[in-house]
Structure 1
Amino acid sequence: MLASVTVHDLPPTAGYLRDEHVRIRADLGLLTRPAEVERADADRERHEWAALLRSEGWLDQSADIATDEGLEAMLVALHRALAASPARLLGVSLPDAFGDRRAQNQPGTDQEYPNWRVPMTDSSGAPVLLDDCYAAPERVEHLVATVRPSVGRAKPLGL
């Protein structure tokens, strides 16, 4: 079983936690409910996740998820939860590691959104090239280190 915090059809986790998925669909006229209702649901979901992460000890009780620091803490906490899962394979997203917030793909669009043409950026919006990933391995390592302790804990497949 493979598990990851995010998938290609969602914005990177930092963007998702800042309602980028609601903003994009609202801008493109893809919402089936009022944007205020979607934002309220996203806010409820975010707070429910924060409560769960806090109750399990993966997110510090004092983390303010409305701040950039709290957002980063929640991103790491979500990866801690991932590491506690029974999954045998764990995926860590490069956009998550660098702090990108923009969606690479918006399902249900063809011409309306630049699917697969959005360059990866860091949290400041500066482009991140493949060479940058190798030049700054600590950006990736901070999330990989979060899930690494669980690697090897899974029971053998028994084949």
Structure 2
Amino acid sequence: PLAPEHYRRLALASVTTHDLPPTAGYLAEEHVTLRERLGLLTESVAQVRSDARAEREEMVAVLRGRGLVGADPSERELVEALHRLILATPAALIGVSLADAVGERRAQNQPGTDQEYPNWKVPLANGAGQVVLIEELFSNPRLRSLAATLNRG
């Protein structure tokens, strides 16, 4: 991955986007399972999983090398560490996915689909699959923890 100090200043830095899985789902390879189920893989599922694991291991090594995670980080620690990593960029703006903030694992949008996936219709949920209502956002422990991480810089 591109080192944070090499990001452009006049840019928006984010851990994920609407066309990528939420970070918790990415870490659990749920995007691979979904793409396999929908018939969207162009390589064998074994190869895609192997590539995903190698990419994840490289990312964890970068985080560990910068002192952002310990030896056996939890998924939540990895998500927060990735956000601390983008805070180290000179980017003028930082974007945070609401899905990442509450631990959602399901993709909100799956590129390459029309009727096959409920794009933009997936209700926001936490990592346990429990719906998170807008009225509950500011009391959500995971969102509060990520906000504190971002405020500490």
User: TM bucket by the smaller chain?
Assistant: 0.7 to 0.9
For residues 143 and 110 of structure 1, what CA distance do their matches in structure 2 show? 33
For residues 137 and 34 of structure 1, what CA distance do their matches in structure 2 show? 38
SS of the aligned residue for 1:39 comes to helix
CA radius of gyration, larger in: 1
- In structure 1, what is the equivalent of residue 130 of structure 2? 126
Deviation of the 1:58 alpha carbon: 0.8
Q: What stretches of structure 1 of length at least 5 have no aligned partner?
A: 65-69, 151-159
Residue 145 (structure 1) aligned with residue 136 (structure 2): no
1:38 pairs with one of 48, 69, 80: 48
Residue 115 (structure 1) aligned with residue 119 (structure 2): yes
Deviation of the 1:148 alpha carbon: 2.7
- In structure 2, what is the equivalent of residue 5 of structure 1? 15
Deviation of the 1:146 alpha carbon: 2.0
For residues 52 and 115 of structure 1, what CA distance do their matches in structure 2 show? 32
Residues 78-100 of structure 1: CA distance to partner in whole angstroms, max 9, x if unpaired? 11101111111111121111111
Residue 83 (structure 1) aligned with residue 87 (structure 2): yes
**Structure with larger RCO (C-alpha < 8 A, sep 6+):** 2
Deviation of the 1:137 alpha carbon: 5.1
> In 2, are the aligned partners of 1:83 and 1:149 still within 8 Å (CA)?
no
Measured at CA, do residues 31 and 110 of structure 1 come closer, stay the same or move farther in structure 2, by a change above 3 Å?
Answer: same
Deviation of the 1:140 alpha carbon: 2.1
SS of the aligned residue for 1:82 comes to helix
| Structure 1 vs Structure 2 CA RMSD | 1.3
Taking structure 1 as the reference length, what is the TM-score of the superposition? 0.85
SS of the aligned residue for 1:3 comes to strand
1:63 pairs with one of 63, 72, 83: 72
For residues 117 and 140 of structure 2, what CA distance do their matches in structure 1 show? 31
Structure 2 letter corresponding to 1:114 = P
Deviation of the 1:145 alpha carbon: 2.4
Equivalent pairs counted in the alignment come to 143
Deviation of the 1:33 alpha carbon: 0.2
Residues 111-130 of structure 1: CA distance to partner in whole angstroms, max 9, x if unpaired? 01000011010111111111
Structure 2 letter corresponding to 1:118 = V
Q: What stretches of structure 2 of length at least 5 have no aligned partner?
A: 1-10
1:48 pairs with one of 58, 80, 89: 58
